[in-house]
Amino acid sequence: MKTTGILAAALLASTALSASAETVRWARAGDSLTLDPHAQNEGPTHTLAHQIYEPLIIRDYDGAFEPALATEWGPKADDPNVWVFKLREGVTFHDGSAFTAEDVVFSFERAKTPDSDMKELLTSITEIRAVDDYTVEFVTDGPNPILANNVTNLFIMDKTWTEANDATKVQDYEGGETTFAAANTNGTGPFVLESREPDVKTVLTQNPDYWGMDTFPMEVTEVVYTPIQNAATRVAALLSGEVDFIQDVPVQDLGRVGDTEGLSVKSTEQNRTIFFGLNLGADDLENDDVDGANPLADAKVRKAMNMALNRDAIKQVVMRGQSVPAGMIAPPFVNGWTEEMDGSVSTDVEAAKALMEEAGYGDGFSIQLDCPNDRYINDEAICQAAVGMFAQIGITVNLDSKPKAQHFPLIANGTTDFFMLGWGVPTYDSEYVFNFLVHTKGDERGSWNATGFSDAGIDEKIVSLASETDLDARNATIADIWSTVQEETLYLPIHHQVLNWGMSDMVGTAVDPSDSPKFKYFTLN
Amino acid sequence: MTQTELRPKADPARPSRFSRAVNSDLFHSFRSNPVAVVSAIVVMVLILAAVFAPLVAPHDPFNPATLNLMNGFTPPGEANAFTGDFFVLGTDDQGRDVFSTILYGMRISLFVGFSAVLFAMVLGVILGLIAGYVGGWVETIIMRIADIQLTFPAILVAMLIFGIAKGITPPAYRDQMAIWVLIVAIGLSDWVQFARVVRGATLVEKNREYVQAAKIAGRSAFSIMLRHILPNVMNSVLVIATISLALAIIAEATLSFLGVGAPPTKPSLGTLISIGQGFMFSGEWWILIFPALTLLALALSINLLGDWLRDALNPKLR
C-alpha cells in the first residue's frame, strides 16, 4: 500500500515535471513596446517580435548571418545596384496562408513609410519587386555593399492579413496611436501569440507548422514572458523558481545567483553602448535656468561635461566591474570603432571647471536630465551618479526618471534637453549609428537624433556611405564622420554594457551579444 | 457688559500653568504608563534629530556635489577601501552616508506627515462641523462624498492625486513640487475620519443647553461652531490626529517606496527603503535595515502615544 503510494507520487511528479519542463518562464526588466514589428526599432520590442515574426535573414549568436525566410541572397551578377533574395518555399503564416514574394514586397514598402521606425535601414532601397513567387529584387540607388546587414530585424508580415485588418499603416507609437497590428500578430515564426497583457504577461505557444521544426532544437513548447521592473523582485523570482530565465541579472546579485544550486549566470560583452545625449541645436532649452541661450550649444560646456564624468567610478561602484568604459558611442563589434577613440576620454574636474569658466558658465547652470528606469542595466543609478559628477563642475542636474515607454517618445520627438540612451548596432557597421543618431533629423534619417545637430556636409557624407563600394574609401569616410562626432561632443559616452543572463539548469542557451534570446535555439535538460 | 468681565480675575493663590499641567490627570496617567513615556522619549529624540539634522549629520546627502561615488557600499563601522573614509552606518549605492541620509530623510517624512495631518484635520474639522451643525442637503452632500471616498483605499486615492499633479506640473518643478503634492495627496485621502468624528460629536453637542443658550443670545452660527462646539470635540480630534500622523508617515513611505513620492536625489525614509531593497540579496543589508528600523521606531512610538492618548482622554475607558 505504502509502496504504491510512493510509486504513484513519483509517477505524478514525473509527469508534472515533463509537462512543465517544456515551458520556459522568462523575465526581464521591461516589456515590448508594441507588437507592430515596424513601429519601434527597440531591443526588447524586436526580441519578442523575433519569436513570432521572422526577417529574411537573422544573425546567430556569433553574429554570423543565418538564413530565415530567405535561403540565398547577394548582389545580382550583372548589376551591382540590385540585390536578389531567394525565398524559402512552403512556409505558412500562423493563420495558414502561404508566404510569398508579395508579402516581402508589402512588408518592406510598409517599413519604408514615414511612421515606420525602420525606415533609416532601408533608405538606399528605391524599388522592391517580386520577380516570381519566391524571388525578390531590391533596387538601390547606387551599389549597397551592406544591404544584407540592414534587414536582420526587418520582419515580414502577411499582406492579406494586414490589409484585411486595416493595419497597412504603421502604428504611430510616439503619437500614442493604437492599431490592430499593435495588439495582434500573424507571423511565420516559431511561436504563436497566445495571449498578451502589456507590461503584465505575454504567453507564446509553439507553432507546430514551423518550417524549422527539424532544423532547430525547438524543445520549448511554451514561453511565458513577464516583465519585472524591480531588480530585487526579478532576482527573487529566479531564486525561488518562479521564473526559469532572466535576461538582466542585477550586477549586485551575480554572485548570489551564480552560487545558488541549480542556477547559473552566463555573461558576454554586449553590442550596446550607453551614453548621454545633449540638445545642442535648440535656441533655448525647455527646462534650464539660462534664459535666451542654450548652454549646451557651446562645445566647451559639452567637453567640460564629458570630462566631469568619472567612468571608472561608475564601472567600479554602480556596475561592480560589469561594464567597459567608453569614449565613443559604438561598441568594439562595429566597423569604424577604434581603440584610440574609445580610450580618448579621461576625468579631469579641474580642467572641466576651467572650460566652464571660459564658456562663461563659471557659476554653473541647472538643467533637466531625462533618464529611463527600466531599460538599461542600472540606468537610474548611473544617472544619479552622474548628477553628483556634474554638480562638481557647477551644473545642477534635476533628474527625471521614468519608464521607457514615456522616456523614448521624448527622444523620438526631440522634446528633451539632456537624455540617456543606449544604442546597439545590429548591422555591425557605423553607418547605422550615423543614420539614426548623427544625420539631421528628417523624413528618411536621423529619427533618434535628439541633439538638434545638423551639418549639411556631414549629412552628405553619411548618405554617401550607402552606395560607396570601395571599402577603403568608405572606411575613410566613416573615420572622418567619427572625428566630427568626437570633436563636437554630440554625445557623452558612458560604457559598453556587459550582458548577464541568469537561468535555471533546466535551460540551455548561449548568450546573444545583441541581447535577443531566440527560444527556438533553447535546449531543455 | 463685555466678555472679559465674565472671566475670573487672576488669582495669586491659583497654581501656575506649569504646575497645573504637571498635576493634571492627563500627566498623571502619562507618568504611570511606561509605554507612553518610552514612546514619547523616542519620538522626541527622533524629531529633535530630524529638526537639527544639519547640525547633527556629518554630511549633507542632498548636495550631490559633496558625494564621492567611490565611497559607495561602505559597510557600517568600516573604512572605505578606496577613499579611507569612515561611516557609522555605512553608505548606500551612491556613496551617501546612511546615517546622514536617514536624518535628512526623516525630516521629509516628518514634515510631510505633520503637514498632511494638519491639512486633513483643518479640512475634516471644518467640513464635519458644517455637516453636523447645518444638516440637511449640505450634510448629505459632504457625508456622501466622505462615504464614497472611504470605499477607496487611502493609498490609492493618494496615488491618483499624485499622478494627476505630476502630469500637470512642469518637469523642472517636479522635484520641489513632489513634497507638497505628497502632503495634499495624503491629506486629501485622510480628511474623512476627522469629518465623520466631528460631525458625530457636533450632532450631539448642538442640542445641548449651552448651544441653545448661545443661539438665544444671538450668536452667529459661525461663532457657535467655532467658540462653543469645536472646543468640545477637540479631544477626539487630537486622538485621531496622533494616530493619523503615524499612518501619514507610513503612507508617505509607501508612496515613496512605490516610486511616486520623494525623488531618489532627495530621499525620504520610504525612498531609502526602496533603494535598499535592491541590495537585499547581495549582502549590503545596512542600506535597507537602518532606514526601515528608523521608520518602525517612529511610526510605532507615535502610534503607541496615540493609543495612550485615546485611553486617557476617553472617560468611558477610565
Edge-to-edge strands of the sheet including A70-76? A70-76, A79-87, A135-140, A125-132
Confidence of residue B316 (pLDDT cuts 50, 70, 90): low
User: Which pLDDT score, from 0 to 100, does residue B18 have?
Assistant: 77
**How far is the C-alpha of B141 from the C-alpha of B127, rounded, in Å?**
11
Instruction: Find the distance separating the first CA and the last CA of chain A, reported in whole Å.
Output: 33
Non-local CB neighbours of A199 within 8 Å, separated by 6+ positions: A31, A227
As given in the structure block, the three cell numbers for residue A117 are 521606425
Residue B256 domain-assigned?
yes
As given in the structure block, the three cell numbers for residue A221 are 513548447
Q: What is the mean pLDDT of residues B160-187?
A: 79
How far B243 CA sits from the closest chain A CA (Å)?
32
Q: Contacts of residue B261 in chain A, CB cutoff 8 Å?
A: none
Residue B82 domain-assigned?
no
Q: Contacts of residue A256 in chain B, CB cutoff 8 Å?
A: 281-282
Confidence of residue B13 (pLDDT cuts 50, 70, 90): low
What residue of A is the nearest CA neighbor of B94? A385
Tell if the CB–CB gap between B64 and A256 is shorter than 8 Å: no
Q: Contacts of residue B67 in chain A, CB cutoff 8 Å?
A: 388, 391
As given in the structure block, the three cell numbers for residue B195 are 469629518
Tell if the CB–CB gap between B278 and A391 is shorter than 8 Å: no
Test the A interface: residue of B93, B169, B175, B271 with most A CBs within 10 Å: B93
Give the residue from A336, A306, A269, A322 showing the smallest Cα distance to A494.
Answer: A306
Q: Contacts of residue A418 in chain B, CB cutoff 8 Å?
A: none
Burial of A165 (0-12, 13-18, 19+ CB in 10 A): middle
pLDDT in tens, B46-80: 999 999 999 999 989 888 888 889 998 999 988 88
Q: Contacts of residue A380 in chain B, CB cutoff 8 Å?
A: 264
Angle between helices B286-313 and B34-51 (to 10 degrees): 130
User: Which pLDDT score, from 0 to 100, does residue A486 have?
Assistant: 95
Tell if the CB–CB gap between B263 and A399 is shorter than 8 Å: yes
User: Which pLDDT score, from 0 to 100, does residue A268 have?
Assistant: 92
How far B163 CA sits from the closest chain A CA (Å)?
13
Residue B53 domain-assigned?
no
Tell if the CB–CB gap between B64 and A310 is shorter than 8 Å: no
Q: Mapped to the 3 state alphabet, what secondary structure does A83-149 carry?
A: EEEEECCCCECCCCCECCHHHHHHHHHHHCCCCCCCHHHHCCEEEEEEEECCEEEEEECCCCCCHHH
Residue B190 domain-assigned?
yes
How far A87 CA sits from the closest chain B CA (Å)?
48
Selecting from A235, A384, A398 the residue whose C-beta is nearest the C-beta of B94 gives A384
Confidence of residue B318 (pLDDT cuts 50, 70, 90): very low
Selecting from A385, A400, A401 the residue whose C-beta is nearest the C-beta of B69 gives A385
Q: Contacts of residue B82 in chain A, CB cutoff 8 Å?
A: 316
Tell if the CB–CB gap between A397 and B64 is shorter than 8 Å: yes
B229 with B206: CB under 8 angstroms? yes
Strands A23-28, A222-227: pairing is: parallel
Tell if the CB–CB gap between A252 and B279 is shorter than 8 Å: yes
Tell if the CB–CB gap between B69 and A255 is shorter than 8 Å: no
Tell if the CB–CB gap between A389 and B70 is shorter than 8 Å: no
pTM for this structure?
Answer: 0.84
Tell if the CB–CB gap between A232 and B277 is shorter than 8 Å: yes
- CB pairs below 8 Å between A and B: how many? 83
How far A256 CA sits from the closest chain B CA (Å)?
7
What residue of B is the nearest CA neighbor of A231? B278
User: Which pLDDT score, from 0 to 100, does residue B49 have?
Assistant: 94
CATH class belonging to A23-197: alpha beta
User: Which pLDDT score, from 0 to 100, does residue B82 have?
Assistant: 84
Check residue A132 and report its DSSP letter: E
Fold match, A23-197 / A270-498:
no
Residue B51 domain-assigned?
no
Q: Contacts of residue A286 in chain B, CB cutoff 8 Å?
A: 171-172
User: Which pLDDT score, from 0 to 100, does residue A83 have?
Assistant: 94
Q: How many domains does chain B have?
A: 1
We report the CATH number of the domain holding residue B106 as 1.10.3720.10
How far B271 CA sits from the closest chain A CA (Å)?
13
How far A301 CA sits from the closest chain B CA (Å)?
18
User: Which pLDDT score, from 0 to 100, does residue A289 have?
Assistant: 85
Tell if the CB–CB gap between B93 and A381 is shorter than 8 Å: yes
Tell if the CB–CB gap between B278 and A231 is shorter than 8 Å: yes
Question: Would you list which residues of chain B are within 8 Å, Cβ to Cβ, of chain A?
Answer: 63-65, 67-70, 72-73, 82, 93-95, 170-172, 174-175, 259, 263-265, 277-282, 284
Q: What is the mean pLDDT of residues B95-109?
A: 93
Domain ranges of chain A: 23-197, 270-498
B288 with A252: CB under 8 angstroms? no
How far B286 CA sits from the closest chain A CA (Å)?
14
**How far is the C-alpha of B251 from the C-alpha of B122, rounded, in Å?**
19
Check residue A404 and report its DSSP letter: H
pLDDT in tens, A35-57: 999 999 999 999 999 999 999 99
Range of the domain at B276: 92-317
**Angstrom distances, CA of residue A181 to CA of A168, A171, A440, B231:** 9, 8, 30, 65
Tell if the CB–CB gap between A232 and B70 is shorter than 8 Å: no
Question: Would you list which residues of chain A are within 8 Å, Cβ to Cβ, of chain B?
Answer: 230-232, 235-236, 239, 250, 252-253, 255-256, 286-288, 310, 313-314, 316-318, 368, 373, 380-381, 384-385, 387-392, 397-401
According to DSSP, the residues that pair with A498 across neighbouring strands are A269
- pLDDT tens for chain A, residues 1 to 525: 444 444 444 444 444 444 445 899 999 999 999 999 999 999 999 999 999 999 999 999 888 999 999 999 999 989 989 999 999 999 999 999 999 999 999 999 999 999 999 999 999 999 999 999 999 999 998 888 889 999 999 999 999 999 999 999 999 998 889 999 999 999 999 999 999 999 999 999 999 999 999 999 999 999 999 999 888 899 999 999 999 999 999 999 999 999 999 999 999 999 999 999 999 999 888 888 888 899 999 999 999 999 999 999 999 999 999 999 999 999 998 999 999 999 988 999 999 999 999 999 999 999 999 999 889 999 999 999 999 999 999 999 988 888 898 899 999 999 999 999 999 998 999 999 999 999 999 888 999 999 999 999 999 999 999 888 888 999 999 999 999 999 999 999 999 999 999 999 999 999 998 899 999 999 998
According to DSSP, the residues that pair with A135 across neighbouring strands are A86, A132
Which CATH architecture fits A270-498? Answer: Roll (3.10)
pLDDT in tens, A293-337: 999 999 999 999 999 999 999 999 999 999 999 999 999 989 999
Q: With the CA atoms of B296, B301, B307 and B312 taken in that order, what torsion angle do they form, in degrees rounded to the nearest 10? A: 180
User: Which pLDDT score, from 0 to 100, does residue B6 have?
Assistant: 54
pLDDT in tens, A238-252: 999 999 999 999 999
Give the residue from B29, B60, B54, B99 showing the smallest Cα distance to B293.
Answer: B99
**How far is the C-alpha of B138 from the C-alpha of B157, rounded, in Å?**
23
